[in-house]
Amino acid sequence: MTEAAAADTGITDAALTPVDVHLAAILDAIRPLAPAALPLAEAGGCVLAEDITARVALPSFDNSAMDGYAVRAADVASATERAPVTLPVTGEVTAGDPGAYALVPGTALRITTGAQLPSGADAVVPVEWTDGGAARVAIRQAPREGNAIRLAGGDAREGETLLERGTRLRPMQIAVAAAAGRDRVLVRPRPRVVVLSTGNELAEPGTPLVPGRIWDSNSYMIAAAAREAGCAACRHAIVPDDPAGVLPALEDQLTRADLLVTTGGVSMGGEHDVVKAALRRLGTVTFRKVAMQPGMPQGFGTVGEDRTPLFTLPGNPVSAYVSFQLFVRPAIGALQGDRALRLPVVRAALTAGVRSPAGRRSFLRGVLGNGTGADGRRRVTPLSGQGSHQIAALGRADALIVVPERAAQLSEGDEVDVLVLPA
Amino acid sequence: MTEAAAADTGITDAALTPVDVHLAAILDAIRPLAPAALPLAEAGGCVLAEDITARVALPSFDNSAMDGYAVRAADVASATERAPVTLPVTGEVTAGDPGAYALVPGTALRITTGAQLPSGADAVVPVEWTDGGAARVAIRQAPREGNAIRLAGGDAREGETLLERGTRLRPMQIAVAAAAGRDRVLVRPRPRVVVLSTGNELAEPGTPLVPGRIWDSNSYMIAAAAREAGCAACRHAIVPDDPAGVLPALEDQLTRADLLVTTGGVSMGGEHDVVKAALRRLGTVTFRKVAMQPGMPQGFGTVGEDRTPLFTLPGNPVSAYVSFQLFVRPAIGALQGDRALRLPVVRAALTAGVRSPAGRRSFLRGVLGNGTGADGRRRVTPLSGQGSHQIAALGRADALIVVPERAAQLSEGDEVDVLVLPA
């Protein structure tokens, strides 16, 4: 980093990499997964790798928007409450009826919602405007031409692009693809993620603790966060914090993973250089101190023949969680060809002052209300218990308060960027 | 509904049921699913049916928060940059080491992050304050007592309640349960949902269209929305809109479903009374006109021996989607013992005027920015294409604009409630 860049970001320690620089390097290194044609029913949450176009007009035929009577508007133009117009009913067209009906002038056909409009008809009289007659119908209100008719192509013209490549398939987009007749769609699939917790102090939950051990929580948390971010079922395990533990586990998982995440040991200083050196030999993995709090020690690279992205996140649970949301979540989006998988940012006023190490961007756990104060601004409350190992406060947080690199403290009422956590 | 209630809600047609009354009736009828003990790795998104308590203090032992040297603070109280204090290093304690170490006064022990604090030590000197020596270490800064030490019980005391029954297990809560040593948790499971699209006009996507038919989109959409709301994999199918089509399909699915949803036909008027009557015989299903737009015709009840909730939603895709978010989503929460599964509500100013039928609550598709205007208020933009069958506009919406029963139109700048759709 140049001195000018350092001055610009508010980062004073040249050994620290700005958050945005680290994220950009990650996104630069990631290639989207190969597209796959999935059954539509399994494609929810995946990202389109093709445009979806209307192969026929939608709807493909004029049809009734209501239950009622198909008529010629001119035949009932004089109808009023006091002087209804009565027409003979010559038949019924129901939804799904493939037959071709024609309306004889001066008559009516019963019609149900979604049924094809008979040729010759130019309006539908809702049943509520009539006496509901079967052989003859008395119509008490004159429809304008086109009343209660959905025209062919009213939803989409033939050839129209309905959904663009790169769109994430939410329920509404699934509906659009189904309405266009698609039972399979070309998508970037949900990435398969493998999470390894490194640390000789870690015990599997459910097993007894011996002195000096703690139960592993990171691998469970990061696997759950990855699923929440749209990944396929995630494998996770504890591995010893030495090359003989980490490397075989990583190599073993390479063929099963589109994304590898480790937490703990390997991202720390001094003592663990032997693991770092071993990881570097697997691929392009580099280790950096990023100008952030929590989460300063970060490792990222690609490993193996398929250049699978590998993250080494810090071992403190809060650091690991924040690092996941800032760096791994966008990487999951990039694997799917979706550059928009970021936490939403809102502006809010602090309800209490906060402190932060100058020169690093802080991400403090907070609670963001949906409401606004008397001044119309949203409010965010910093939580107590901001230690990197204190997961209890993390569990109450719904947002991360961003304190910029330049600021060492902020006061009540100061407006800040707030990252909204998935809910 | 009494006249007073009608006046209060702004509903003028006594034949219409207020939205909130319909929702309350639904929630009253639903019993939570039986709890099940699930492996923690499969419990993400489920709702706790037990309190999670700390069976031991967390952490269970004093440990180091950094890599460095365990010392007695008094031994190095005079250490400064200019006059470092040098101590002999008598050994190393690493994370996970189960041994019991004791610090000899006047000496130091190397220690790694997470390692058990030796007895006799009362401070950790970070490696950055030292020369990093192996046999002897020069300490350049005096730590206060307790420096870089995480005390036993600092995260949670033995017996402390960490997560309460009714909590939805997000990644952070999964981490808390793991950190407390739990490998299985008692939860209300993800409901299994079966969705049936009724309608003789419906064709399965991927099959050719014959005249008068449209491809089914509702069952795909509602199944995807149910999964998005936390349900287990959903089954869905098309059934003909007659008792011989609907009833066997429903009865067949009863044992496989915790929640049944139909869309189309059965919720309409007149023509379909035979299906309605048949459904009523299955259980307590009642049909109502709810004072809302879209989505007026609503059916709800419980069917079968297990009193499985059954929704009959309108057939127009937009009506079905809005009805799902307003009524089925909270019902999914109730099945899990979570009364909070509602769309979040925010206040925002309209960027354009809207019209709405008086006496009904309208839910207009809109786009809600995360930012605020110059006046500090959030903004919401109504989308064009508000027809109940127009799913293209629905696909661009991220919010539903609520127009109250009393209002027939609202103007640009008017402030409204906005329901935030899942993102």
CATH number of domain containing B388? 2.40.340.10
pLDDT in tens, chain A (423 residues): 444 444 567 777 878 999 999 999 999 999 999 999 999 999 999 999 999 999 999 889 999 998 899 999 999 999 999 999 999 999 999 988 888 899 999 999 999 888 999 999 999 999 999 999 999 999 999 999 999 999 999 888 999 999 999 999 999 999 999 999 999 999 999 999 999 998 889 999 999 988 899 999 999 999 999 999 999 877 888 988 788 888 888 888 888 899 999 998 754 555 556 677 778 888 888 999 999 999 888 999 999 888 999 999 998 889 999 999 999 999 999 999 988 888 989 889 999 999 998 899 999 999 997 777 777 788 999 997 766 666 766 778 899 999 999 999 999 999 999 999 987
Q: How far is A203 from chain B (nearest CA, A)?
A: 9
Least Cα distance to B254 among B302, B308, B299, B301 occurs for: B308
CB contact under 8 A, A395 and B236: no
Q: Where are the alpha helices (DSSP H) in A123-217?
A: 171-179
Q: Is there a domain that residue A7 lies in?
A: yes
CATH number at residue A110: 2.170.190.11
Residue A319 dihedral angles phi and psi, to the nearest 5°: -60, -45
A318 & A289 share domain = yes
Q: Is there a domain that residue A391 lies in?
A: yes
Question: Residue holding tokens 């009023």?
Answer: A80
Q: How far is B318 from chain A (nearest CA, A)?
A: 9
A208 & A331 share domain = yes
pLDDT greater than 80 at residue B57: yes
**CB contact at 8 A, B12 and B163:** no
Three-state secondary structure call for residue B95? coil
Q: Is there a domain that residue A299 lies in?
A: yes
Which residues 300-329 of A have a C-beta within 8 angstroms of B? 315, 317, 321
- Mean pLDDT to the nearest integer, B62-86: 96
**CB contact at 8 A, A180 and A162:** yes
B392 & B267 share domain = no
**What would the pLDDT profile of A152-196 be if each residue is shown by its tens digit?**
998 889 999 999 999 999 999 999 999 999 999 999 999 999 999
A214 & A318 share domain = yes
Does A179 reach chain B within 8 Å, measured CB to CB? yes
Q: Is there a domain that residue A340 lies in?
A: no
**CB contact at 8 A, A204 and A243:** no
**CB contact at 8 A, A312 and A344:** no
A130 & A173 share domain = no
Q: Is there a domain that residue B8 lies in?
A: no
**Identity of the residue in A268, A391, A394 whose CB atom sits nearest the CB atom of B113:** A268
Domain end (from A297, A314, A335): A335
Domain end (from A124, A150, A176): A150
Give me the number of domains chain A comprises: 4
**Identity of the residue in B176, B199, B387 whose CB atom sits nearest the CB atom of A95:** B199
Does B216 reach chain A within 8 Å, measured CB to CB? yes
User: Residue B365: which H helix or E strand, with range?
Assistant: strand B361-372
User: Residue B185: which H helix or E strand, with range?
Assistant: strand B184-188
Q: Is there a domain that residue A376 lies in?
A: yes
**CB contact at 8 A, A139 and A129:** yes
pLDDT value at residue B273: 62
Residue A419 dihedral angles phi and psi, to the nearest 5°: -90, 125
A225 & A180 share domain = no
**Identity of the residue in A200, A209, A218 whose CB atom sits nearest the CB atom of B60:** A209
Instruction: Give residue A52's domain range.
Output: 37-58+154-188
CB contact under 8 A, A214 and B60: yes
CATH number at residue B208: 3.40.980.10
CB contact under 8 A, A270 and B94: no
Which residue is closest to A420 within chain B, CA to CA? B370
Q: Is there a domain that residue B272 lies in?
A: yes
CB contact under 8 A, B96 and A201: yes
B43 & B68 share domain = no
Domain end (from B124, B150, B176): B150
Q: Is there a domain that residue B370 lies in?
A: yes
**Identity of the residue in B173, B215, B392 whose CB atom sits nearest the CB atom of A181:** B215
User: Which of B217, B319, B383, B415 should we substitute to test contact with A (largest number of A Cβ atoms within 10 Å)?
Assistant: B217
Which residues 246-275 of B have a C-beta within 8 angstroms of A? 268-271
CA separation for the pair B191, B199 (Å, rounded): 26
B202 & B182 share domain = no
In chain B, which residues have their Cβ closer than 8 Å to the Cβ of A45?
228
**Identity of the residue in A170, A181, A271 whose CB atom sits nearest the CB atom of B206:** A181
CB-side neighbour CA atoms (13 Å) of B167: 21
In chain A, which residues have their Cβ closer than 8 Å to the Cβ of B176?
217, 391-392, 395
CB contact under 8 A, A212 and B317: no
Which residues lie below 8 Å from residue B266, measured CB to CB, with a gap of 6+?
A: B198, B241, B246, B272, B275, B276, B279, B299, B312
A330 & A279 share domain = yes
Question: Residue holding tokens 């036993």?
Answer: B152
Does A232 reach chain B within 8 Å, measured CB to CB? no
A47 & A111 share domain = no
Does B392 reach chain A within 8 Å, measured CB to CB? yes
ipTM of the modeled complex? 0.88
CATH number at residue B180: 3.90.105.10
**What would the pLDDT profile of B353-396 be if each residue is shown by its tens digit?**
999 988 999 999 999 977 777 777 889 999 977 666 667 667 78
Handedness of CA B311, B312, B314, B315 (dihedral sign): positive
Which long-range contacts (C-beta less than 8 Å, at least 24 apart) are formed by A244-247? A245/A198, A246/A196, A246/A198, A246/A275, A246/A278, A246/A279, A247/A278, A247/A279, A247/A282
Does B83 reach chain A within 8 Å, measured CB to CB? no
B216 & B327 share domain = yes
Q: How far is A42 from chain B (nearest CA, A)?
A: 9
In Å, what is the CA distance from B81 to each residue of B85, B125, B144, B148, B306?
9, 14, 16, 19, 75
A368 & A416 share domain = yes
CB contact under 8 A, B236 and A98: no
CB contact under 8 A, B205 and A178: yes
User: Which of A149, A202, A220 should we substitute to test contact with B (largest number of B Cβ atoms within 10 Å)?
Assistant: A220
Does B209 reach chain A within 8 Å, measured CB to CB? yes
Helix-, strand-, coil-residue percentages of chain A, each rounded to 5:
25, 30, 45
